[in-house]
Amino acid sequence: MGRSGGGGGEGSGAGGPGPGLRAHLGALLRAPPRAPLLLSVLLLGTYFFYCLSGPCAAARPPSQPAAPPATRAPQPPSWAPRPGRLLPAAAAEPEDPPEPEAQRGGAGTPGGGGLPLASSFGSRRFPQALIVGVKKGGTRALLEFLRVHPDVRALGAEPHFFDRCYNKGLAWYRSLMPRTLDGQITMEKTPSYFVTKEAPRRIHNMSQDTKLIVVVRNPVTRAISDYTQTLSKNPSIPSFQALAFRNGSSGLVDTAWSAVRIGIYAKHLDNWLQYFPLSHFLFVSGERLVSDPAGEMGRVQDFLGLKRVVTDKHFYFNETKGFPCLKKPEGSSRPRCLGKSKGRPHPHIEEHVVQRLREFYRPFNLKFYQMTGQDFGWD
């Protein structure tokens, strides 16, 4: 499943057959008539292959109910951010994979339950809370920490419903969710929602009571982390510096590059505030999630109206990884850190490049502190 590096797009998985499929079907239809059975089998196989391998396929529901189209709402305001320049490699990056335990057991499997019993009790509900961003902010860590809480049931994979898969309909989206009992909260995380101009309106359309969590991180470090991810998939991309500035380091900062654009938090938040009041948001510091995970989890649990169950007893600092890890993740009794793609070393970026980006972000950061009433200390 590809990711867009933060830019939103309408789901493309449910449209008509693409050129590849048309060519394939054409070839099959020209086959000799004496092979009707083989032809039918191939046609069916081709149909299922193309239908199920689209950008929404990683989050397939256990059964496919007839999904009514999602309700239409007024067009978004014209000033909303436009999709920026994407690196080819970024567009082909795989999703943030669910952590292994989540894949094996419960709620990581779309529609699954953590315990065998959970598969037959409770009901699938729309998420009452979403982690909407930001990409490379620490969203996977937050979700895995939250899943330890017995009153949180979360989808492990990123469903990308409100950016790429919206045309699958709200019933499809709900069918992905794990079953919950009364009093439990359903959650999912898709970091690209924060920079998708249609996402706030669509989420508001699902429920205007949705609680929204945004994990934010120093935008300069975030951009380097984003670049590191792209570089890991495609080592031949240009240097960070060449991508960050329009004409080498002497030029203007290139805000069309998604790695830069995502970090202009104030601008993206402005779009969300057209639909949700500030009281619906919790801004989690990506830095404090690493330096004081229990403290930040206390704030998150309070915001979600949960008992403070996840505390410092749940974490240990793994010296080798250099990050806090869980003593007992959901569905496991063994300690576990996040996977290799989380907390990886960044390439060295020259100080003058970092400095110029810091200066670029400063006014946007100050605006963001003002809007949220929180100083994240990035300057």
d(CA 182, CA 38): 50
The least distance separating ligand PPS from the CB of residue 93, rounded to whole angstroms, comes to 9
* Residue 345 assigned as binding residue: yes
DSSP β-ladder status, 179-180 and 123-124: antiparallel
Nearer to ligand PPS, 290 or 371 (CB): 290
Name the packing angle between helices 351-372 and 265-272 (round to 10°): 30
* Residue 137 assigned as binding residue: yes
Nearer to ligand PPS, 98 or 113 (CB): 98
d(CA 370, CA 372): 6
The least distance separating ligand PPS from the CB of residue 145, rounded to whole angstroms, comes to 8
Nearer to ligand PPS, 232 or 374 (CB): 232
List, in order, residues 6 or more apart from 300 with CB less than 8 Å away. Answer: 142, 146, 213, 282, 284
Q: Which is it for the CA torsion 32, 37, 40, 41, positive or negative?
A: negative
Nearer to ligand PPS, 305 or 377 (CB): 377
The least distance separating ligand PPS from the CB of residue 83, rounded to whole angstroms, comes to 17
* Residue 342 assigned as binding residue: yes
Backbone angles phi, psi at 276, to 5 degrees: -130, 140
| 180 strand-pairing partners | 123
- Where are any strands of DSSP class E within 84-229? 123-124, 129-133, 152-154, 179-180, 185-189, 211-216
CB 363 within 8 A of CB 350: no
Q: Which positions lie near ligand PPS, rule CB under 6 A?
A: 96, 135-141, 191, 225, 228, 289-290, 323-324, 338, 342-344
Establish whether 136 is a catalytic residue. yes
The least distance separating ligand PPS from the CB of residue 168, rounded to whole angstroms, comes to 21
d(CA 194, CA 216): 11
* Residue 343 assigned as binding residue: yes
| 123 strand-pairing partners | 180
Nearer to ligand PPS, 141 or 220 (CB): 141
The least distance separating ligand PPS from the CB of residue 121, rounded to whole angstroms, comes to 30
Helix (H, G, I), strand (E, B) or coil at 373: coil
- Binning the chain into helix, strand and coil, the percentages to the nearest 5 are 40, 10, 45
Nearer to ligand PPS, 246 or 344 (CB): 344
* Residue 346 assigned as binding residue: yes
* Residue 261 assigned as binding residue: no
The least distance separating ligand PPS from the CB of residue 87, rounded to whole angstroms, comes to 15
Active-site residue identified among 136, 168, 189, 197: 136
- What are the binding residues? 136-140, 217, 225, 342-346
**Catalytically active residues, by annotation:** 136
- What are the binding residues for 3'-phosphoadenylyl sulfate? 136-140, 217, 225, 342-346
